[in-house]
Amino acid sequence: SSSSRQFACLYTRHKTQKRKVWRDGRLVLASCSASLHDADPPPGGGDPALDRTELTRDEIDGLGSGRVDEMETERFLVTVEGPWR
């Protein structure tokens, strides 16, 4: 289906540091892309994507099925935890 799927995730800007600070996020998978959002966006600020990245269908399927639980965007490292609450 072409509908988007949402997942709870953790994300960090610290791609290379040993000690990473992780934040709660929401990963939205579309047909050929993934967008990362704050899990609790500030009130009144809308829900802007923190980052967006294009993915192959195989990558999307892997994330959607739980076969893959990590991905990177240009700015963030993302670990998928499970279905969005």
pLDDT at 3 over 70: no
| pLDDT exceeds 70 at position 54 | yes
- DSSP per residue, 34-58: EEEEESSPPTTS----SEEEE--HH
On whether the CB atoms of residues 76 and 2 are closer than 8 A, the answer is no
What's the pTM value of the predicted model, to 2 decimals? 0.89
Measured distance CA(34)–CA(55) in Å, rounded: 7
Q: Once rounded to an integer, what is the mean pLDDT over residues 19-39? A: 95
* pLDDT number for residue 2: 42
Distance CA 68, CA 49 (A): 21
Give the three-class secondary structure for 59.
helix
Question: How much is the mean pLDDT over the chain?
Answer: 92
